[in-house]
Amino acid sequence: MENIWLEAQANLKHVLTEQTYTTWIEPLKFLGATADTVVLEVPSSFFQKWVTDKYLAMIKEVLSAITSKTYHIEFHVAEAKPELPEPRTEKEPKAKGKEKDKEKEGEKEKEKEKDKKPELVPNLNPKYTFESFVSGPSNQFAYAASQAVANKPASNYNPLFIYGGVGLGKTHLVNAIGNQILAKNPKAKICYYSSEKFMNEMINSLRYKKMDEFRNKFRKMDLLLIDDIQFMAGKEATQEEFFHTFNALYESHKQIVVTSDKFPKDIPGLEERLRSRFEWGLIADIQPPGVETKVAILKKKSDMHAVNLPDDVALFLAEGATSNIRELEGMLIRLEAFASLTGKEITLSMAREVMKDIIVEKTRDISVEMIQKMVADHFRIKLSELKSDKRIKTLVVPRQIAIYICRELTKASYPEIGEKFGGKDHSTIIHSVKKIEKQLAADADLKATVEDIKKRLFT
Ligand SMILES: Nc1ncnc2c1ncn2[C@@H]1O[C@H](COP(=O)(O)OP(=O)(O)OP(=O)(O)O)[C@@H](O)[C@H]1O
Protein backbone atom coordinates (compact mmCIF):
# COMPACT_ATOMS: atom_id res chain seq x y z
CA MET A 1 0.00 0.00 0.00
CA GLU A 2 2.91 2.28 0.67
CA ASN A 3 3.93 1.92 -2.97
CA ILE A 4 0.43 2.91 -3.97
CA TRP A 5 0.66 6.01 -1.81
CA LEU A 6 4.00 6.89 -3.41
CA GLU A 7 2.42 6.43 -6.80
CA ALA A 8 -0.52 8.63 -5.76
CA GLN A 9 1.93 11.32 -4.69
CA ALA A 10 3.73 11.04 -8.02
CA ASN A 11 0.44 11.44 -9.83
CA LEU A 12 -0.58 14.42 -7.73
CA LYS A 13 2.75 15.98 -8.59
CA HIS A 14 1.72 15.98 -12.22
CA VAL A 15 -1.61 17.62 -11.49
CA LEU A 16 -0.62 20.27 -8.95
CA THR A 17 1.78 23.16 -9.20
CA GLU A 18 5.21 22.41 -7.86
CA GLN A 19 4.76 24.76 -4.92
CA THR A 20 1.42 23.28 -3.89
CA TYR A 21 2.81 19.81 -4.19
CA THR A 22 5.93 20.48 -2.13
CA THR A 23 4.03 22.43 0.50
CA TRP A 24 0.99 20.22 1.01
CA ILE A 25 1.39 16.80 -0.53
CA GLU A 26 5.04 15.89 -0.24
CA PRO A 27 5.06 16.18 3.59
CA LEU A 28 2.19 13.66 3.90
CA LYS A 29 3.82 10.51 5.20
CA PHE A 30 2.33 7.08 4.77
CA LEU A 31 1.78 5.47 8.17
CA GLY A 32 -0.23 2.43 7.28
CA ALA A 33 -3.46 1.19 5.81
CA THR A 34 -6.37 -1.09 6.48
CA ALA A 35 -8.67 -2.59 3.88
CA ASP A 36 -10.44 0.71 3.30
CA THR A 37 -8.45 3.40 5.07
CA VAL A 38 -5.13 4.99 4.39
CA VAL A 39 -3.44 6.64 7.35
CA LEU A 40 -1.21 9.61 6.66
CA GLU A 41 0.92 11.68 8.96
CA VAL A 42 0.61 15.46 8.88
CA PRO A 43 2.97 17.88 10.60
CA SER A 44 0.26 19.89 12.41
CA SER A 45 -3.47 20.23 12.93
CA PHE A 46 -3.52 23.37 10.85
CA PHE A 47 -1.86 21.43 8.07
CA GLN A 48 -4.46 18.69 8.45
CA LYS A 49 -7.33 21.15 8.18
CA TRP A 50 -5.89 22.83 5.13
CA VAL A 51 -5.21 19.56 3.33
CA THR A 52 -8.66 18.26 4.25
CA ASP A 53 -10.34 21.37 2.89
CA LYS A 54 -8.32 21.74 -0.25
CA TYR A 55 -6.90 18.43 -1.33
CA LEU A 56 -8.69 15.56 0.34
CA ALA A 57 -11.09 14.98 -2.55
CA MET A 58 -8.24 15.00 -5.02
CA ILE A 59 -6.15 12.60 -2.94
CA LYS A 60 -9.09 10.18 -2.74
CA GLU A 61 -9.69 10.55 -6.43
CA VAL A 62 -6.15 9.70 -7.34
CA LEU A 63 -6.05 6.74 -4.95
CA SER A 64 -9.23 5.39 -6.41
CA ALA A 65 -7.94 5.92 -9.94
CA ILE A 66 -4.94 3.78 -9.07
CA THR A 67 -6.64 1.05 -7.06
CA SER A 68 -10.21 1.16 -8.41
CA LYS A 69 -11.29 1.30 -4.75
CA THR A 70 -12.53 4.06 -2.52
CA TYR A 71 -10.36 4.76 0.49
CA HIS A 72 -11.04 6.87 3.57
CA ILE A 73 -8.13 9.00 4.58
CA GLU A 74 -7.22 9.34 8.22
CA PHE A 75 -4.75 11.96 9.28
CA HIS A 76 -2.54 11.77 12.32
CA VAL A 77 -0.68 14.76 13.55
CA ALA A 78 3.01 13.92 13.92
CA GLU A 79 3.89 12.38 17.24
CA ALA A 80 0.23 11.63 18.05
CA LYS A 81 0.44 7.85 17.87
CA PRO A 82 -1.91 6.43 15.25
CA GLU A 83 -4.17 3.59 16.20
CA LEU A 84 -3.37 1.23 13.41
CA PRO A 85 -4.66 -2.29 13.66
CA GLU A 86 -2.11 -4.46 15.42
CA PRO A 87 -0.16 -6.64 13.05
CA ARG A 88 -1.42 -10.18 13.47
CA THR A 89 1.96 -11.52 14.31
CA GLU A 90 2.28 -9.36 17.39
CA LYS A 91 1.05 -10.61 20.69
CA GLU A 92 -2.18 -9.12 22.01
CA PRO A 93 -1.84 -7.40 25.36
CA LYS A 94 -3.39 -9.44 28.15
CA ALA A 95 -7.03 -8.53 28.66
CA LYS A 96 -8.43 -7.94 32.12
CA GLY A 97 -11.75 -9.44 33.22
CA LYS A 98 -14.11 -11.93 31.66
CA GLU A 99 -15.80 -9.52 29.30
CA LYS A 100 -12.48 -8.61 27.85
CA ASP A 101 -11.56 -12.26 27.58
CA LYS A 102 -14.71 -12.97 25.64
CA GLU A 103 -14.04 -10.06 23.38
CA LYS A 104 -10.56 -11.34 22.79
CA GLU A 105 -11.83 -14.83 22.10
CA GLY A 106 -14.18 -13.41 19.49
CA GLU A 107 -11.37 -11.47 17.94
CA LYS A 108 -9.13 -14.49 17.93
CA GLU A 109 -11.84 -16.46 16.14
CA LYS A 110 -12.08 -13.70 13.59
CA GLU A 111 -8.33 -13.73 13.19
CA LYS A 112 -8.44 -17.48 12.64
CA GLU A 113 -11.13 -16.99 10.02
CA LYS A 114 -8.91 -14.47 8.34
CA ASP A 115 -6.06 -16.96 8.36
CA LYS A 116 -8.15 -19.39 6.38
CA LYS A 117 -8.75 -16.91 3.61
CA PRO A 118 -6.12 -16.40 0.96
CA GLU A 119 -4.35 -13.23 1.92
CA LEU A 120 -1.88 -11.29 -0.17
CA VAL A 121 1.61 -11.06 1.18
CA PRO A 122 1.81 -7.44 2.28
CA ASN A 123 4.71 -6.51 0.12
CA LEU A 124 3.19 -7.69 -3.15
CA ASN A 125 1.23 -5.09 -4.98
CA PRO A 126 -2.21 -6.66 -5.54
CA LYS A 127 -2.97 -4.53 -8.55
CA TYR A 128 0.01 -5.81 -10.49
CA THR A 129 -1.44 -8.96 -12.00
CA PHE A 130 -1.17 -10.71 -15.35
CA GLU A 131 -4.73 -9.62 -16.07
CA SER A 132 -3.86 -5.97 -15.68
CA PHE A 133 -0.70 -6.33 -17.80
CA VAL A 134 -0.96 -5.63 -21.51
CA SER A 135 1.29 -7.82 -23.56
CA GLY A 136 2.59 -6.69 -26.92
CA PRO A 137 5.60 -7.40 -29.13
CA SER A 138 7.90 -5.42 -26.82
CA ASN A 139 7.22 -7.45 -23.68
CA GLN A 140 5.82 -10.74 -24.98
CA PHE A 141 8.87 -12.77 -24.09
CA ALA A 142 9.15 -11.54 -20.52
CA TYR A 143 5.38 -11.89 -20.12
CA ALA A 144 5.35 -15.49 -21.35
CA ALA A 145 8.40 -16.39 -19.24
CA SER A 146 6.78 -14.86 -16.15
CA GLN A 147 3.60 -16.82 -16.75
CA ALA A 148 5.56 -20.02 -17.20
CA VAL A 149 7.32 -19.40 -13.89
CA ALA A 150 4.05 -18.59 -12.14
CA ASN A 151 2.47 -21.78 -13.47
CA LYS A 152 5.43 -24.01 -12.66
CA PRO A 153 7.76 -22.36 -10.20
CA ALA A 154 11.31 -23.63 -9.81
CA SER A 155 11.18 -25.97 -12.76
CA ASN A 156 12.43 -24.75 -16.12
CA TYR A 157 13.33 -21.15 -15.62
CA ASN A 158 15.22 -20.68 -12.42
CA PRO A 159 16.31 -18.00 -11.86
CA LEU A 160 14.23 -15.83 -14.14
CA PHE A 161 16.06 -12.62 -14.92
CA ILE A 162 13.95 -9.83 -16.41
CA TYR A 163 15.66 -6.74 -17.70
CA GLY A 164 14.50 -3.58 -19.42
CA GLY A 165 14.45 0.21 -19.26
CA VAL A 166 12.82 2.39 -16.62
CA GLY A 167 9.08 2.12 -16.21
CA LEU A 168 8.58 -0.69 -18.69
CA GLY A 169 6.77 -3.10 -16.38
CA LYS A 170 9.42 -5.21 -14.65
CA THR A 171 8.03 -4.62 -11.17
CA HIS A 172 4.54 -5.24 -12.48
CA LEU A 173 5.54 -8.61 -13.95
CA VAL A 174 7.39 -9.91 -10.90
CA ASN A 175 4.47 -8.94 -8.68
CA ALA A 176 2.13 -10.69 -11.12
CA ILE A 177 4.18 -13.87 -10.70
CA GLY A 178 3.88 -13.58 -6.93
CA ASN A 179 0.18 -12.80 -7.01
CA GLN A 180 -0.59 -15.72 -9.27
CA ILE A 181 1.40 -18.20 -7.21
CA LEU A 182 -0.27 -16.89 -4.10
CA ALA A 183 -3.73 -17.13 -5.63
CA LYS A 184 -3.11 -20.81 -6.33
CA ASN A 185 -1.39 -21.49 -3.06
CA PRO A 186 -2.30 -19.04 -0.33
CA LYS A 187 0.29 -20.58 1.94
CA ALA A 188 3.19 -19.99 -0.41
CA LYS A 189 5.93 -17.97 1.23
CA ILE A 190 6.67 -15.13 -1.07
CA CYS A 191 8.88 -12.18 -0.62
CA TYR A 192 9.20 -9.18 -2.91
CA TYR A 193 12.16 -6.94 -2.14
CA SER A 194 13.97 -4.21 -3.94
CA SER A 195 17.67 -4.85 -3.78
CA GLU A 196 18.01 -1.57 -1.93
CA LYS A 197 15.63 -2.76 0.76
CA PHE A 198 17.51 -6.04 0.93
CA MET A 199 20.70 -4.10 1.50
CA ASN A 200 19.24 -1.75 4.12
CA GLU A 201 17.71 -4.59 6.04
CA MET A 202 20.95 -6.48 5.91
CA ILE A 203 22.85 -3.48 7.26
CA ASN A 204 20.35 -3.10 10.10
CA SER A 205 20.55 -6.78 10.89
CA LEU A 206 24.30 -6.54 11.04
CA ARG A 207 24.04 -3.52 13.29
CA TYR A 208 21.62 -5.13 15.70
CA LYS A 209 23.25 -8.54 15.48
CA LYS A 210 20.24 -10.16 13.90
CA MET A 211 21.88 -11.71 10.90
CA ASP A 212 20.53 -15.18 11.64
CA GLU A 213 17.01 -13.86 11.65
CA PHE A 214 17.67 -12.00 8.40
CA ARG A 215 19.10 -15.09 6.71
CA ASN A 216 16.38 -17.42 7.89
CA LYS A 217 13.68 -15.11 6.74
CA PHE A 218 14.85 -15.22 3.14
CA ARG A 219 15.93 -18.80 3.11
CA LYS A 220 12.53 -20.15 4.00
CA MET A 221 10.83 -18.47 1.08
CA ASP A 222 9.23 -20.44 -1.75
CA LEU A 223 9.56 -17.51 -4.09
CA LEU A 224 12.03 -14.66 -3.81
CA LEU A 225 11.49 -11.65 -6.03
CA ILE A 226 14.33 -9.15 -6.06
CA ASP A 227 13.73 -5.94 -7.97
CA ASP A 228 16.40 -3.70 -9.47
CA ILE A 229 19.40 -5.88 -8.75
CA GLN A 230 21.63 -3.30 -10.44
CA PHE A 231 21.59 -1.35 -7.16
CA MET A 232 23.71 -4.10 -5.66
CA ALA A 233 26.48 -3.22 -8.09
CA GLY A 234 29.65 -2.40 -6.20
CA LYS A 235 28.07 -3.35 -2.82
CA GLU A 236 30.23 -6.33 -2.10
CA ALA A 237 28.85 -7.36 1.26
CA THR A 238 25.29 -7.21 -0.03
CA GLN A 239 26.20 -9.26 -3.07
CA GLU A 240 27.94 -11.77 -0.88
CA GLU A 241 24.89 -12.16 1.33
CA PHE A 242 22.58 -12.36 -1.64
CA PHE A 243 24.83 -14.95 -3.23
CA HIS A 244 24.38 -17.25 -0.22
CA THR A 245 20.66 -16.62 -0.10
CA PHE A 246 20.48 -17.41 -3.79
CA ASN A 247 22.39 -20.66 -3.38
CA ALA A 248 20.34 -21.78 -0.41
CA LEU A 249 17.08 -21.18 -2.26
CA TYR A 250 18.29 -22.61 -5.53
CA GLU A 251 19.53 -25.77 -3.88
CA SER A 252 16.19 -26.28 -2.17
CA HIS A 253 14.44 -25.86 -5.54
CA LYS A 254 12.84 -22.56 -4.73
CA GLN A 255 12.10 -20.01 -7.42
CA ILE A 256 14.10 -16.81 -7.70
CA VAL A 257 13.15 -13.91 -9.95
CA VAL A 258 15.41 -10.93 -10.41
CA THR A 259 14.93 -7.73 -12.35
CA SER A 260 17.44 -5.23 -13.59
CA ASP A 261 17.69 -2.33 -15.97
CA LYS A 262 20.52 -4.10 -17.79
CA PHE A 263 21.62 -7.46 -19.07
CA PRO A 264 23.71 -9.21 -16.34
CA LYS A 265 26.92 -8.79 -18.29
CA ASP A 266 26.33 -5.06 -18.59
CA ILE A 267 25.90 -4.38 -14.88
CA PRO A 268 29.17 -2.84 -13.80
CA GLY A 269 30.41 -3.96 -10.41
CA LEU A 270 28.35 -7.15 -10.36
CA GLU A 271 30.42 -10.06 -9.17
CA GLU A 272 31.17 -12.74 -11.71
CA ARG A 273 29.75 -15.55 -9.58
CA LEU A 274 26.38 -13.77 -9.30
CA ARG A 275 26.37 -12.86 -12.96
CA SER A 276 26.99 -16.44 -13.97
CA ARG A 277 24.21 -17.65 -11.69
CA PHE A 278 21.76 -15.26 -13.32
CA GLU A 279 22.72 -16.82 -16.60
CA TRP A 280 21.84 -20.31 -15.35
CA GLY A 281 18.17 -19.69 -15.83
CA LEU A 282 16.27 -17.63 -18.35
CA ILE A 283 17.03 -14.04 -19.25
CA ALA A 284 14.09 -12.19 -20.75
CA ASP A 285 14.04 -8.60 -21.89
CA ILE A 286 11.36 -5.94 -22.06
CA GLN A 287 11.77 -3.47 -24.87
CA PRO A 288 10.16 -0.04 -25.10
CA PRO A 289 6.57 -0.44 -26.29
CA GLY A 290 5.36 0.69 -29.69
CA VAL A 291 2.45 3.05 -30.15
CA GLU A 292 -0.11 0.23 -30.43
CA THR A 293 0.91 -1.30 -27.13
CA LYS A 294 0.90 2.11 -25.48
CA VAL A 295 -2.63 2.70 -26.76
CA ALA A 296 -3.71 -0.71 -25.49
CA ILE A 297 -2.22 0.04 -22.06
CA LEU A 298 -3.99 3.39 -21.89
CA LYS A 299 -7.26 1.77 -22.88
CA LYS A 300 -6.88 -0.92 -20.26
CA LYS A 301 -5.97 1.54 -17.52
CA SER A 302 -8.83 3.87 -18.37
CA ASP A 303 -11.25 0.93 -18.38
CA MET A 304 -9.94 -0.07 -14.98
CA HIS A 305 -10.57 3.46 -13.75
CA ALA A 306 -14.02 3.37 -15.41
CA VAL A 307 -13.14 6.41 -17.49
CA ASN A 308 -14.04 6.86 -21.12
CA LEU A 309 -10.87 7.55 -23.10
CA PRO A 310 -11.65 8.17 -26.77
CA ASP A 311 -9.37 6.44 -29.30
CA ASP A 312 -8.00 9.67 -30.73
CA VAL A 313 -6.99 10.85 -27.27
CA ALA A 314 -5.33 7.52 -26.49
CA LEU A 315 -3.36 7.80 -29.73
CA PHE A 316 -2.43 11.40 -28.98
CA LEU A 317 -1.05 10.43 -25.57
CA ALA A 318 0.68 7.32 -26.87
CA GLU A 319 2.41 9.22 -29.63
CA GLY A 320 3.36 12.07 -27.34
CA ALA A 321 4.75 10.00 -24.50
CA THR A 322 8.17 8.50 -24.29
CA SER A 323 8.23 4.76 -23.84
CA ASN A 324 8.14 4.95 -20.04
CA ILE A 325 4.73 3.54 -19.11
CA ARG A 326 4.85 5.24 -15.74
CA GLU A 327 5.01 8.55 -17.57
CA LEU A 328 2.16 7.47 -19.80
CA GLU A 329 0.09 6.58 -16.74
CA GLY A 330 0.93 9.95 -15.21
CA MET A 331 -0.50 11.65 -18.28
CA LEU A 332 -3.65 9.60 -18.09
CA ILE A 333 -4.13 10.38 -14.40
CA ARG A 334 -3.58 14.05 -15.07
CA LEU A 335 -6.18 14.01 -17.80
CA GLU A 336 -8.63 12.00 -15.72
CA ALA A 337 -8.14 14.31 -12.75
CA PHE A 338 -8.74 17.35 -14.94
CA ALA A 339 -11.88 15.85 -16.46
CA SER A 340 -13.19 14.83 -13.09
CA LEU A 341 -12.42 18.16 -11.40
CA THR A 342 -14.04 20.16 -14.19
CA GLY A 343 -16.87 17.69 -14.78
CA LYS A 344 -16.12 17.56 -18.52
CA GLU A 345 -15.79 14.67 -20.94
CA ILE A 346 -12.29 13.83 -22.12
CA THR A 347 -11.76 15.05 -25.66
CA LEU A 348 -8.78 15.52 -27.94
CA SER A 349 -8.87 19.29 -27.55
CA MET A 350 -8.99 18.96 -23.77
CA ALA A 351 -6.06 16.55 -23.89
CA ARG A 352 -4.08 18.97 -26.06
CA GLU A 353 -4.75 21.77 -23.59
CA VAL A 354 -4.00 19.72 -20.46
CA MET A 355 -0.85 18.20 -21.94
CA LYS A 356 0.41 21.32 -23.67
CA ASP A 357 3.43 21.68 -21.40
CA ILE A 358 4.35 18.04 -21.62
CA ILE A 359 3.61 16.87 -25.13
CA VAL A 360 4.07 20.00 -27.21
CA GLU A 361 7.39 20.68 -25.50
CA LYS A 362 8.65 17.39 -26.77
CA THR A 363 7.34 17.54 -30.28
CA ARG A 364 8.05 21.23 -30.78
CA ASP A 365 11.72 20.82 -30.14
CA ILE A 366 12.29 18.16 -32.75
CA SER A 367 12.34 19.13 -36.39
CA VAL A 368 12.34 17.11 -39.60
CA GLU A 369 15.86 18.36 -40.25
CA MET A 370 17.13 17.10 -36.88
CA ILE A 371 15.67 13.69 -37.57
CA GLN A 372 17.13 13.55 -41.05
CA LYS A 373 20.57 14.39 -39.70
CA MET A 374 20.37 11.88 -36.85
CA VAL A 375 19.24 9.07 -39.16
CA ALA A 376 21.85 9.90 -41.82
CA ASP A 377 24.56 9.88 -39.13
CA HIS A 378 23.29 6.64 -37.68
CA PHE A 379 23.44 4.83 -41.02
CA ARG A 380 26.53 6.72 -42.17
CA ILE A 381 24.93 7.99 -45.34
CA LYS A 382 24.80 11.46 -46.82
CA LEU A 383 21.84 13.73 -46.16
CA SER A 384 21.40 14.17 -49.91
CA GLU A 385 21.19 10.37 -50.31
CA LEU A 386 18.63 10.12 -47.54
CA LYS A 387 16.40 12.63 -49.31
CA SER A 388 17.03 11.24 -52.78
CA ASP A 389 14.87 8.87 -54.83
CA LYS A 390 17.53 6.15 -55.11
CA ARG A 391 15.94 2.76 -54.53
CA ILE A 392 18.86 0.77 -53.12
CA LYS A 393 18.11 -1.00 -49.86
CA THR A 394 20.85 0.73 -47.85
CA LEU A 395 19.09 4.01 -48.55
CA VAL A 396 15.45 2.95 -48.67
CA VAL A 397 15.38 1.58 -45.13
CA PRO A 398 16.99 4.62 -43.46
CA ARG A 399 14.74 6.89 -45.51
CA GLN A 400 11.62 5.05 -44.40
CA ILE A 401 12.80 5.09 -40.80
CA ALA A 402 13.46 8.82 -40.95
CA ILE A 403 10.04 9.45 -42.45
CA TYR A 404 8.38 7.29 -39.81
CA ILE A 405 10.13 9.16 -36.99
CA CYS A 406 9.22 12.53 -38.52
CA ARG A 407 5.60 11.50 -38.50
CA GLU A 408 5.85 10.26 -34.96
CA LEU A 409 7.77 13.11 -33.39
CA THR A 410 6.96 16.24 -35.34
CA LYS A 411 3.76 17.97 -36.22
CA ALA A 412 4.62 18.01 -39.91
CA SER A 413 1.84 16.73 -42.20
CA TYR A 414 2.45 14.03 -44.81
CA PRO A 415 2.83 16.59 -47.64
CA GLU A 416 5.18 18.71 -45.51
CA ILE A 417 7.36 15.69 -44.78
CA GLY A 418 7.30 14.78 -48.50
CA GLU A 419 8.43 18.30 -49.33
CA LYS A 420 11.43 17.99 -47.01
CA PHE A 421 12.38 14.62 -48.44
CA GLY A 422 13.19 15.96 -51.88
CA GLY A 423 9.60 16.76 -52.90
CA LYS A 424 8.04 13.33 -52.53
CA ASP A 425 4.35 12.69 -52.95
CA HIS A 426 2.35 12.36 -49.72
CA SER A 427 1.31 8.82 -50.69
CA THR A 428 4.99 7.80 -50.69
CA ILE A 429 5.28 9.20 -47.18
CA ILE A 430 2.17 7.34 -45.98
CA HIS A 431 3.51 4.14 -47.53
CA SER A 432 6.84 4.54 -45.70
CA VAL A 433 5.18 5.18 -42.36
CA LYS A 434 2.87 2.17 -42.74
CA LYS A 435 5.71 -0.05 -43.84
CA ILE A 436 7.84 0.74 -40.80
CA GLU A 437 4.87 0.50 -38.46
CA LYS A 438 4.17 -2.98 -39.74
CA GLN A 439 7.77 -4.12 -39.57
CA LEU A 440 8.26 -2.75 -36.08
CA ALA A 441 5.84 -5.31 -34.72
CA ALA A 442 7.94 -8.18 -36.04
CA ASP A 443 11.49 -6.93 -36.24
CA ALA A 444 13.20 -6.41 -32.88
CA ASP A 445 16.38 -5.03 -34.45
CA LEU A 446 14.47 -2.42 -36.36
CA LYS A 447 12.59 -1.51 -33.24
CA ALA A 448 15.80 -1.13 -31.27
CA THR A 449 17.26 1.08 -34.03
CA VAL A 450 14.21 3.34 -34.11
CA GLU A 451 14.11 3.59 -30.32
CA ASP A 452 17.79 4.34 -30.19
CA ILE A 453 17.50 7.16 -32.72
CA LYS A 454 14.46 8.56 -30.92
CA LYS A 455 16.21 8.39 -27.59
CA ARG A 456 19.18 10.28 -28.95
CA LEU A 457 16.88 12.93 -30.37
CA PHE A 458 15.53 13.61 -26.91
CA THR A 459 18.90 13.79 -25.21
N1 LIG B 1 2.49 -3.83 -20.30
C2 LIG B 1 1.93 -3.15 -19.31
N3 LIG B 1 0.60 -3.23 -19.09
C4 LIG B 1 0.03 -2.51 -18.12
N5 LIG B 1 0.69 -1.69 -17.28
C6 LIG B 1 2.01 -1.58 -17.45
C7 LIG B 1 2.70 -2.30 -18.47
N8 LIG B 1 4.01 -2.00 -18.39
C9 LIG B 1 4.14 -1.13 -17.38
N10 LIG B 1 2.94 -0.87 -16.82
C11 LIG B 1 2.67 0.05 -15.70
O12 LIG B 1 3.65 1.07 -15.72
C13 LIG B 1 4.03 1.41 -14.42
C14 LIG B 1 5.53 1.26 -14.29
O15 LIG B 1 5.85 -0.13 -14.37
P16 LIG B 1 6.90 -0.84 -13.41
O17 LIG B 1 6.99 -0.11 -12.11
O18 LIG B 1 6.59 -2.27 -13.39
O19 LIG B 1 8.22 -0.54 -14.25
P20 LIG B 1 9.71 -0.98 -13.97
O21 LIG B 1 10.20 -1.53 -15.24
O22 LIG B 1 9.79 -1.84 -12.78
O23 LIG B 1 10.40 0.41 -13.68
P24 LIG B 1 11.73 0.77 -12.84
O25 LIG B 1 12.86 0.51 -13.75
O26 LIG B 1 11.55 2.23 -12.54
O27 LIG B 1 11.75 -0.08 -11.62
C28 LIG B 1 3.26 0.52 -13.48
O29 LIG B 1 2.16 1.21 -12.98
C30 LIG B 1 2.80 -0.63 -14.36
O31 LIG B 1 1.55 -1.14 -13.95
Q: Which of 124, 172, 192, 305 for a ligand 1 pocket mutation test, highest count of atoms within 8 Å of Cβ?
A: 172
Give the pLDDT of residue 459. 64
Q: Per residue in 382-421, pLDDT tens?
A: 999 999 999 999 999 999 999 999 998 888 889 999 999 9
Ligand 1 near 166 CB (within 6 A): yes
Give the pLDDT of residue 122. 52
What are φ and ψ of residue 72, in 5° steps?
-85, 150
- Region label for 354, one of left (φ > 0), alpha (ψ between -120 and 50) or beta (otherwise): alpha
Ligand 1 near 229 CB (within 6 A): no
Q: Per residue in 58-92, pLDDT tens?
A: 888 888 888 888 889 999 888 643 333 333 333 33
How many whole angstroms from 422 Cα to the centroid of ligand 1?
Answer: 41
Q: Which residues of the chain have pLDDT under 50?
A: 80-105, 108-120, 361
Give the pLDDT of residue 362. 53
Selection from 22, 35, 158 nearest residue 85 by Cα: 35
CB distance 259 to 174 below 8 Å: yes
Amino acid making up residue 424:
K
Would you say the pTM of this structure is higher than 0.80?
no
CA distances from 368 to 108, 185, 314, 394, 407 (A): 69, 55, 24, 20, 9
Give the pLDDT of residue 440. 87
How many whole angstroms from 165 Cα to the centroid of ligand 1?
Answer: 10
Give the pLDDT of residue 184. 93
Q: Which of 143, 260, 299, 326 for a ligand 1 pocket mutation test, highest count of atoms within 8 Å of Cβ?
A: 326
How many whole angstroms from 328 Cα to the centroid of ligand 1?
Answer: 10
CA distance 346 to 355: 12
Give the pLDDT of residue 133. 96
Give the pLDDT of residue 148. 97
Determine the 3-state secondary structure of 347 from DSSP: coil
Ligand 1 near 281 CB (within 6 A): no
The angle subtended at Cα 261 by Cα 257 and Cα 266, nearest 5°, is 100
Residue 208 is given by DSSP the state T
Give the pLDDT of residue 408. 83
Give the pLDDT of residue 364. 53
Report residue 85 CA to chain centroid gap.
Answer: 29
